[in-house]
Amino acid sequence: MDLVPAIPDPDDPSPNQPTALVPLATTGLRRRGDEFPPVCLALSSSTVIGLRVYLEEFTRQLTQRSASTGTVATYRKRSRTFVAWLEQGRPSDLRHLDRACVEAYRAYLDQRFQNPRTKNGYLTAVRHFLIFLGRYHRGLVNAAEFVKGWSCSRTHTRRHLPVEDAKRLLIALETDSRKSDIQGRRNVAMAYLMLKTGLRTIEVSRARIAHLQELARIPQ
């Protein structure tokens, strides 16, 4: 499943806006004047607990931006996997959320999953979660931006439905006794459209009558 950008064009949170988010501990780098040098999170038990709180706020704001339920659930699941790895699976010598830490997480994903698209999806979720954290921690480096994903084939990953199977599908939908006549016609029309144009199930489920357009015939 390919993920859309989680929170596009994030704005800095208003300093006067009440929030229950507590700043997480970062590396102790000195500030020079008014500049904020690059920093990264110092991974402690309290930081991991805080990351869970930030994750809930991340998904809450994502929901407010009219994202689909599936997208929100996917980001939550994949980001929780990362936080759980930080708490339980992270090597003890990794004490900061830096590039080395994300590289180790990449190696963990490489061992856990086989599909490159799935592994890239988990890495993408981490990347957008760190972007969100950067809104509340000025100067925070998104270490995931420096970690490359896996190469994926651009060709279709699933074969088309054979003609005989397509015919059986349409007949089954047309003769389904559980559906009314109008429901059967609807299902056949949707299945035929998917077979002819290659529409995905998510595209069909989001289709609305207002999306239909009548093609005007060009006069001869």
The SS3 call for residue 39 is: strand
- For the cut 90, the answer to whether the pLDDT of residue 104 exceeds it is yes
Phi-psi region of 137 (alpha: psi -120 to 50; beta: other; left: phi over 0): beta
Q: What is the DSSP secondary structure assignment for residue 147, as one 8-state letter?
A: S
* DSSP structure string for 79-110: HHHHHHIIIIIS-TT--BSSHHHHHHHHHHHH
Contacts of 115 (CB under 8 A, 6+ apart): none
Under 8 Å between Cβ of 96 and 40: yes
pLDDT tens, residue by residue, 191-206: 988 888 888 888 888 8
Q: How confident is the model at residue 66 (pLDDT cuts 50, 70, 90)?
A: low
Task: Indicate the average pLDDT of the chain.
Answer: 81
| pLDDT top residue among 116 and 152 | 116
**What's the confidence (pLDDT) of residue 9?**
43
So where are the chain's domains?
1-157, 163-207
Domain 1-157 has CATH 2.60.120.380: no
